[in-house]
Amino acid sequence: MHTPLTEPPAEAGADSLEDQKAAITRLGHELRTLVETTVRTAASPDTLHRVADGVRQVTAQLTGRRRARAEIPEVDGFPGGPRMYSPVVGAGSPLAPPVSITPTDDGLIGHCTLGLAHEGPPGYGHGGMSAMLLDELMGQACTAAGTPGMTVSLQTRYHQPIPLETPLRILGRVTGTDNRKVFVTGTITTEADPSTRLVSADGVFIAPDPDRARALFPGLREEA
């Protein structure tokens, strides 16, 4: 029987958390490999049924306590820190490319490569993936600039399709603020040709007031 979802997570030491992150990262890598292989395979129906049975057996091994919907994982640094299960940057997410992010002089730069699991038109990334990549980088740019906020609007322009299996660069930069509003720009290019924009965006983010933040994120620690 699973532990009740209402039970708070046990406190974990730094070493234990690092071990947990390492295990999550390893499993995330293997799951992404499985997902990518699944969308590429031309295996027979018998093979696919056999693999599906095996995956069901593996899933059944993930026993124990399950995280509740609004619960913030102990391994996460929310807000402002690494998100292990983010569908964009999470090392533990089977959905994420994932994107690695480094600071620049005036913003953030992300690096990733989209696979067939992220395909829209044959050979190219889904347009929704482009918007998600930009939303993440632009939101993190807000936090890096000391003005964390949530997306209010994201105006996206698609100049050229995003090629799959091609190293990409995603830029996010804060351009201004107005009270609690933060104005941000973003672009996606290839690593090989950073001067040619494939997708660009302008966004408005807004910092929720403390009461609103507590209502939205009841699991947020008070000091955060």
Cα–Cα dist 206/224, whole Å: 17
- pTM of the shown model: 0.87
Mean pLDDT of 85-90: 96
Candidate from 143-147, 165-169, 189-193 with smallest mean pLDDT: 143-147
More confident call, 9 vs 204: 204
Residue 140 has pLDDT above 50, yes or no: yes
Residue 9 has pLDDT above 50, yes or no: no
How deeply is 137 buried, as exposed, middle or buried, from its count of CB atoms within 10 A (0-12, 13-18, 19+)? Answer: buried
* Tokens 């100049």 -> residue: 159
pLDDT over 90 percentage in the chain: 76
* Per-state percent for the chain, helix, strand, coil, to nearest 5: 30, 25, 45
Residue 5 has pLDDT above 60, yes or no: no
More confident call, 79 vs 186: 186
What per-residue confidence (pLDDT) applies to 8? 44
Candidate from 118-127, 161-170, 204-213, 214-223 with smallest mean pLDDT: 214-223
What per-residue confidence (pLDDT) applies to 223? 53
Q: In this predicted model, what pLDDT tens digit does every residue of 204-213 receive, in sequence order?
A: 999 888 788 7
Mean pLDDT of 133-148: 95
Angle at 156 between CA 154 and CA 157, to 5 degrees: 160
What per-residue confidence (pLDDT) applies to 110? 98
As a whole number, the mean pLDDT across the chain is 91
* Tokens 């290019």 -> residue: 189
Residue 169 has pLDDT above 50, yes or no: yes
Cα–Cα dist 33/221, whole Å: 34
CA atoms within a 13 Å half-sphere pointing along the CA-CB vector of 40: 12
Mean pLDDT of 136-160: 96
